[in-house]
Amino acid sequence: HIPMNRSLLGSIPGIPSESDYISKYCKLTRRQSIPEMNFYLAFSLFRSSAIFQGVLKRFQLGNASSSNAESIGMLAGLFADKGRELAETSKQLSKSECSGLEFNSVNIFAISERAQSVLKKLKKFVDEIIIPNEPVFVSQIRQGEDRWKYYPEIMETMKNQAKEAGLWNLWLPKEAEYGPGFSNLEYASMAEVMGRSHIAPEVFNCSAPDTGNMEVLLRYGSKAQQEKWLKPLLSGEIRSCFGMTEPDVASSDARNIETNIRKEGNSYVINGKKWYISGAGDPRCKICILMGKTDTSASNYRQQSMILVPMDTPGVNVVRPCHVLGFDDAPHGHMEITFTNVIVPLENIIWGEGRGFEIAQGRLGPGRIHHCMRLIGLAERALQEMCIRSVNRVAFGKHLARQGTIQADIANSRVEIEQCRLLTLKAAYMVDTVGAKEARGLIAMIKVAAPTMACKVIDRAMQVYGAKGMSQDT
């Protein structure tokens, strides 16, 4: 017999009350509540009804193993009726509620209550303000007469809202005097939420390459450099780029860099060519942190230096946007830039000559964690869209969600996302506890694992959407 009043279960010794059970579950999974309890109960009752129906069928065929199989089998109708009753009182879940039910994974790496509170606000902001404004952002880019000179107004509107909500510069490390001071592990979960939308990181002033450049100035910049460039970057007044990759050499090995930084009197003279310099097309990009060689006679890892180059310096020429699979990503862009006899003062060198490799290693560790967690967030959104599409689309007489190949794709995507998240959170934890140098092996792993996983999950989602998955509508 199923008690009509579920609270009666709490009076049976050894069985917790419904409220006690839900309270314990929410505490362990760090949820505020279960949005639609009746949905889960109805699902469980329908599942039990199906099992009981199987028991009854075996009794009717004469191959039941239990002496009370008939009476157990007769419960199928009772459970189905109760499930239907609960289902009829359960509202249909919205897209945002589906996102909350999911797809929320238990994070075994504990974060502070303060970080949890900010994370909750961040999720709400992304889902209710940023994602609905994505079409507005795209349409405003298209409206500009010159896409490389105009930036969508909606972005500045959302940035002001983020500042007012206290969701600004969340990436700043604990040792920084300017920001909230979250650990790498705490910020990693926030980066995942931001990754759900390609425009979200900038809204919170947490986007690349600015975060990496700000971290360089924060850790290694002089007081004068911080005053002139770090503060306007932190306030979101300007943007920046990082000039490292060169077209003529394999730049993944920074020892190959050929851009020359030559000291002449009270200045440095820079000559070289860079390309795929992300963000350099943005009309708000005012400063470039450039990697070049100051002393080719020094040891391999002491030849390189980093230097600040204002984008309006004579000799800095933005040649063209470099396309990525046919897209120019205006107005952000990935630009080819030539530096021809560019003169900057000696005080623009960062942390002294020959320190480029040291700075790069300090910059890349946390930055790779940020990138990987954002990719995980993007993969989560793709999986969410895949699930929504599969339960609403019918092909060959049944919903896509009932097709075995789709079920396998969804299952594999969930497994791969969970694996990648745990690996990345472990890397963040290790950076916090033993430092980036000791965590370099894990950082190298996530740099491979996250993009590979995201490509697989997003490709599966595109397949479920068919032609629409290849269109501007998705």
pLDDT digits (tens, 9 = 90+) for 406-462: 999 999 999 999 999 999 999 999 999 998 889 999 999 999 999 999 999 999 999
Strands (E), 346-403: 394-395, 398-399
What pLDDT sits at residue 108? 62
Between CA 111 and CA 116 the distance in angstroms is 7
Structure tokens at 418: 């969970």
Amino acid code (one letter) for 453:
M
| Conformational region of residue 352, where left means phi above 0, alpha means psi within -120 to 50, and beta covers everything else | left
User: Judging by beta carbons within 10 Å of its beta carbon (0-12, 13-18, 19+), is residue 375 exposed, middle or buried?
Assistant: buried
DSSP H helix total and E strand total for the chain = 16, 9
Task: Decide: pTM greater than 0.85.
Answer: no
Contact (CB, 8 A) for 158 and 169: no
**Across all residues in the chain, what is the average pLDDT?**
90
pLDDT bucket at 8, cuts 50 / 70 / 90: very low
**If we measure between CA atoms, which residue out of 227, 178, 171, 242 comes closest to residue 202?**
171
pLDDT digits (tens, 9 = 90+) for 291-326: 999 999 999 999 999 999 999 999 999 999 999 999
What is the chain's Cα-based Rg? 28
pLDDT bucket at 46, cuts 50 / 70 / 90: confident
DSSP label at 229? I
Contact (CB, 8 A) for 203 and 158: yes
Q: For the residues 237-261, what does the mean pLDDT come to? A: 96
What pLDDT sits at residue 62? 84
∠ CA 374-379-380, rounded to 5°: 95
pLDDT bucket at 268, cuts 50 / 70 / 90: very high
Cβ neighbors of 355 (< 8 A, separation 6 or more) are: 220, 305, 306
| Conformational region of residue 397, where left means phi above 0, alpha means psi within -120 to 50, and beta covers everything else | left
Which residue in the block uniquely carries the two structure tokens 């942190």? 289
Between CA 108 and CA 106 the distance in angstroms is 6
What pLDDT sits at residue 4? 47
Contact (CB, 8 A) for 370 and 187: yes
pLDDT bucket at 385, cuts 50 / 70 / 90: very high
